[in-house]
Amino acid sequence: RLFFAGTTHQPQSIFGSVSADFENHTPGTNDDDAVNITIASDQVNVIKHLLPGRFLQILTTSAEFTLSGGTGTSPVTPTNVNVLRETTFGTSQIRPLRAGNSTILVQKGTEKVKEITFDLDTDGLLGVDLTVLADHITRGGITDMIWQQEPELILWFVGADGALIGLTYDRANGTVGWHGHQLGDSGIVESITAIPSGAEDQVYLS
């Protein structure tokens, strides 16, 4: 299915297409018909991002939800949809990303970076504040981020002041560390991206 969410007039609704027919959103009750659902919550949670993971992750202004078919590997159908609130951080406008088995998001306020992972003990998502290791380095806010997998596992961030900030992120080997990078000639970063090129991911800055 192709999923859309968060329209102007339905900010906490999710719309899934007919199975294998991405432009068809005709509602119905058959298992392969389109799926339309509105998050049931005690407050308005404007949907900012959708991200595929173990389940479809719905990231909003006030909380993080997952959408699934209920139990086990049951598929999502118009009559079998389960939306659960997992964490209550709230995400910013900055596009979250998948790094290894984790979701990395910039929390609303743009100064904190959260690592969202699946926790077997709670059978749900668990959030860890990565900036607690060096909260001064993102003070003032973040405006952009990307994930570089080769030759090293590094999350790159752009500070609101134009600073280039790196986070070595190799959770499997217990390596998580922040580092700042001063650009020559008083340069500031406006945006950043990473492009696979041979055996490396090349990082480009404007």
Neighbours of 132 (CB within 10 A): 9
Distance, CA of 163 to CA of 137 (rounded, Å): 9
The pTM is what? 0.87
pLDDT less than 70: residues of the chain: 72
The predicted structure's pLDDT at residue 101 = 86
Structure tokens at 159: 């500070």
The predicted structure's pLDDT at residue 44 = 83
The predicted structure's pLDDT at residue 133 = 86
The predicted structure's pLDDT at residue 157 = 97
Q: Helices (DSSP H) in the chain: which residue ranges?
A: none
Buried b (16+ CB within 10 A) or exposed e, 110-120: bbbbbbbebee
Q: What is the mean pLDDT of the chain?
A: 91
The predicted structure's pLDDT at residue 72 = 63
**Per-residue pLDDT tens over the stretch 76-88:** 999 899 998 988 8
CA distance between the termini of the chain: 35
The predicted structure's pLDDT at residue 73 = 74
